[in-house]
Amino acid sequence: MVQKDKFRSENSFKKLILALLIIFTVPLPANSEIQIPSRKDCSLIKKKQSYDYYDRQEAHDFGRKIQNLIAKKDIQGIYKNVLIDELQNGPRREFIKNKSFDQIFPKKWVNKVISTEIDCDSIGWRGFMISNGLIWFDRMESGKWTIKSINGVNQEQFDNKNLIGWKTNKGIIPPTCFPTFGNFEKPKVDLFTEEFGIKNKTKFEYSPGEYIGKTIPLGYKIRSKISKDNFYSVSINLNDCFKWNLENGFVKNEATKNELVLVEKYYLSKK
């Protein structure tokens, strides 16, 4: 009797070992769903923040919120819950109205975004990015978080060849004549907002035209704090707009200029 029980026990043990071997050696069906990385505890980071306008955990959690909406293919949720106004770069609200998620966001793009671990810290003053810049997001002065840019997705195409720009009696105004702020223009935004007491920096950055000629006099220049020989302006005389060479569909400046944005080459649509 004892021998039978011993035999049964050994038999059960062998079956258990065999079952474990099958589990760990036989390939399991691949899971098509890519998992979002686990939530970080940003309070464990001891390094001091370079910029203190945000809470680390808030930033990390907002990035994961974006990932969750993308994983769920919730295109309406993206444009309603994690985006304020329009994107700096990416599909316009009007463009995505009657589009499905898959028509805008390629599968490879989606996999890269949702499999990326979200950082707790910003990339300097430029904000936070997901998957090497496929998505940029940041905290607004209002305290709300928003996506700023969505890169690498399917964009709308403008097929109208008659879109040639802003015509005047002097010619077509090159895009370089319009005040814009690039990724490295934050110090210049600070100069003008401090000089004229503009409290809403974000509004000034995205809609400088609301201040030019009213709050900021036309042609007004501010000396750079970095180089005393440089002056910056948010407006330019229309006559100066046509001191540019047109080469193969590009407008190109002849000499170094001290306007708000220096552009060596900028695409100009052909008629």
Give the pLDDT score at 162. 61
Domain ranges for the chain? 53-150, 166-267
CB 231 within 8 A of CB 224: yes
Give the pLDDT score at 15. 59
CA quadruple 84, 90, 95, 99: dihedral positive or negative?
negative
Which residue stretches of the chain have pLDDT < 70? 1-33, 158-166, 170-172, 174-176, 178-185, 241-271
Q: How far is residue 146 CA from its own chain's centroid?
A: 10
Instruction: At 40, list the tokens.
Output: 């970080």
CA angle 164, 168, 169 (to 5 degrees): 130
In this structure, the chain runs to a length of 271
Sole residue written with tokens 């707790």: 120
Q: How far is residue 220 CA from its own chain's centroid?
A: 31
Instruction: At 65, list the tokens.
Output: 């919120």
- 118-171 pLDDT tens trace: 999 999 878 999 999 999 999 987 899 999 999 999 988 766 666 556 677 766
Give the pLDDT score at 16. 55
